[in-house]
């Protein structure tokens, strides 16, 4: 799910995802008009669908969200659905609807796109913006090219004050490989799933999980494959999940790490970009980053 205030770059991110031509993906957006689509439009009951080829479709809601998603699943059968919320939406209610009313889906994660320039310019976070930051698993601090380089860290601290555990990734024009956005989201859900529906359920938002954290790393340098493999084997048990792209001398690879097991597969990427998520991970951040630095060529 993609959320964020009006004008923060949600549609740009969708456009970017579409440009990567992902297969078997359905994109649900507020308005078709924001993206030029040269495709056949199918008018459904709850949704308007544009076929983009390769199982990729773009959809615009006509009716109820749950009904529209069900219709998309039945008609198109995508592997992934990316949903854009309006800039005015409070994401938690939709998160609940997905978990509650759409058992045929698993919510992968909530991505909030935040405009760095706006964050710097307006002294107060709005009510809805705050909820959009709080509810995020991944925060894209976007438009960093519009602020001074020395402003970025204070802005990240501002985001951390509201959401201490989300992965913060800096972007310009939302340029990020969509692959990095999938599969690293909802770790907090594990506790929800154990409790199941019923009452009362303790709140499991980020604020109540201060031990849970994450950080991101990026580099334009090439990496030594042997060194990186040793690094991956030696990642501490507190790292639950890591994902990203690594540029080696013989080409770039997608790195996927889940609870001690990892794999690398060839993947087109022009820089190294990694995220690490885990329990009490802040204490290990320095060690992990310096070990990683040693693998740079």
Partner 1 sequence: MAIFDNLQKISDTAWELPASYKDGMRVPARIIATEKLVREMDEAVYQQISNVTTLPGITRYALCMPDGHSGYGFPIGGVAAMDVHEDGVISPGGIGFDINCGMRLVITNLTLEDVQPHLRQIVDRLYERVPAGVGSHGFLKLSRQDFRNLVEQGARWCIEHDYGWEEDLEFTEENGCISGANSAKISERAVDRGYNQVGTLGSGNHYLEVQVARPEDVRDKELAEKFGLAIPNQVVVMFHCGSRGFGHQVATDYLRTFLKVMDSKYGIKILDRELACAPFESPEGRDYFAAMKCGLNMSFANRQVILHRIREVFSDVFGRSAEDLDMRMVYDVAHNTAKLERHLVDGKERKLLVHRKGATRAFGPGHREVTTRYREIGQPVIIGGSMETGSYLLVGTASGAETFFSTAHGSGRTMSRTKARKLWHGKQLQRDLEARGIYVRSTSWAGLAEEAGAAYKNIDEVIAATELAGISKPVVRFTPIGNVKG
Does residue 197 bind partner 1 (CB under 8 A)? Answer: yes
Residues 85-124 that bind partner 1 (CB under 8 A): 86-88, 90, 92-93, 96-97, 100-101, 118, 122-124
Contact between 31 and partner 1 per CB under 8 A: yes
Size of the site for partner 1 (CB under 8 A): 40
Considering beta carbons, is residue 7 or 77 the nearer one to partner 1?
Answer: 7
The dihedral formed by the CA atoms of 14, 18, 23 and 28, expressed in degrees to the nearest 10: 40
Is 53 one of the binding residues for partner 1 (CB under 8 A)?
no
d(CA 117, CA 147): 6
Q: Nearest approach, Cβ of 31 to partner 1 (angstroms)?
A: 6
Is residue 128 a contact point for partner 1 (CB under 8 A)? yes
Report the site for partner 1 in 201-260 (rule: CB under 8 A): 201-203
The CB-of-70 to partner 1 minimum distance in angstroms stands at 12
- Closest to partner 1 by CB, 34 or 179: 34
- What is d(CA 279, CA 214) in angstroms, rounded to the nearest whole number? 8
> Would you say 37 or 282 has its CB closer to partner 1?
37
Indicate the residue among 121 and 230 with the shorter CB distance to partner 1.
121
Closest CB to partner 1 among 90 and 179? 90
Determine if 199 is a binding residue for partner 1 (CB under 8 A): yes
Q: Which residues pair with 281 in a beta bridge?
A: none
Half-sphere exposure of 81 (CA within 13 A, CB side): 26
Instruction: State the nearest-atom distance from the C-beta of 203 to partner 1, in Å.
Output: 6
Give the range of 61-69, 104-112, 206-214, 248-256 binding partner 1 by CB under 8 A.
Answer: 61-69
By beta-carbon proximity to partner 1, the closer residue of 96 and 218 is 96
CA angle 110, 111, 115 (to 5 degrees): 145
Sheet with 111-115, strands from edge to edge, namely 2-3, 111-115, 138-142, 167-170
Under the criterion CB under 8 A, does residue 41 sit at the interface with partner 1? no
* Residue 70 in the binding site for partner 1 (CB under 8 A): no
Residues 6+ apart with CB under 8 A from 130: 162
Decide if residue 67 touches partner 1 (CB under 8 A): yes
Q: At what angle do helices 127-134 and 149-162 cross, to 10 degrees?
A: 80
- Cα 250 to Cα 113, 223, 233, 266, distances in angstroms: 33, 10, 21, 10
Q: Estimate to the nearest angstrom the gap between the alpha carbon of 272 and the chain centroid.
A: 17
Residues 221 and 296: their CA atoms lie apart, in Å, by: 6
- CB of 49 or CB of 68, closer to partner 1: 68
> What is the CA angle 275-276-282, rounded to 5?
125
Signed CA dihedral, 233, 235, 240, 245: sign only: negative
* Smallest gap from residue 111 Cβ to partner 1 (A): 18
Name the site residues for partner 1 (rule: CB under 8 A): 5-7, 31, 33, 46, 61-68, 86-88, 90, 92-93, 96-97, 100-101, 118, 122-129, 197-203
């Amino acid at each position: 799910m993609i959320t964020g205030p009006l004008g923060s770059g949600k549609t740009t991110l969708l456009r970017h995802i579409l440009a990567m031509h992902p297969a078997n993906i359905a994109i649900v957006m507020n308005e078709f008009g924001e993206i030029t689509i040269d495709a056949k439009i199918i008018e459904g009951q709850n949704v308007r669908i544009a076929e983009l080829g390769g199982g990729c479709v773009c959809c615009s809601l006509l009716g109820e969200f749950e009904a529209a998603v069900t219709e998309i699943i039945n008609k198109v059968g995508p592997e992934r659905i990316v949903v854009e919320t309006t800039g005015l939406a409070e994401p938690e209610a939709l998160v609940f609807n997905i978990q509650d009313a759409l058992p045929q889906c698993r919510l992968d994660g909530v991505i909030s796109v935040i405009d760095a320039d706006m964050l710097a310019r307006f002294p107060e976070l709005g009510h809805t913006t705050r909820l959009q930051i709080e509810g995020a698993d991944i925060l894209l601090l976007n438009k960093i090219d519009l602020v001074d380089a020395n402003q970025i860290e204070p802005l990240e601290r501002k985001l951390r004050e509201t959401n201490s555990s989300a992965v913060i990734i800096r972007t310009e024009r939302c340029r990020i490989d969509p692959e990095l956005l999938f599969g690293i989201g909802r770790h907090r859900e594990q506790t929800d799933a154990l409790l199941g529906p019923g009452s009362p359920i303790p709140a499991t938002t980020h604020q109540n999980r201060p031990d849970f954290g994450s950080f991101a790393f990026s580099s334009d340098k090439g990496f030594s494959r042997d060194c990186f493999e040793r690094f991956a084997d030696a990642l501490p048990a507190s790292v639950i999940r890591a994902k990203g792209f690594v540029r080696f001398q013989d080409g770039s690879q997608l790195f996927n790490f889940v609870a001690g097991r990892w794999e690398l597969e060839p993947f087109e990427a022009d820089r190294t970009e990694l995220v690490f998520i885990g329990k009490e991970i802040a204490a290990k951040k320095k060690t992990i980053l310096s070990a990683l630095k040693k693998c740079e060529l």
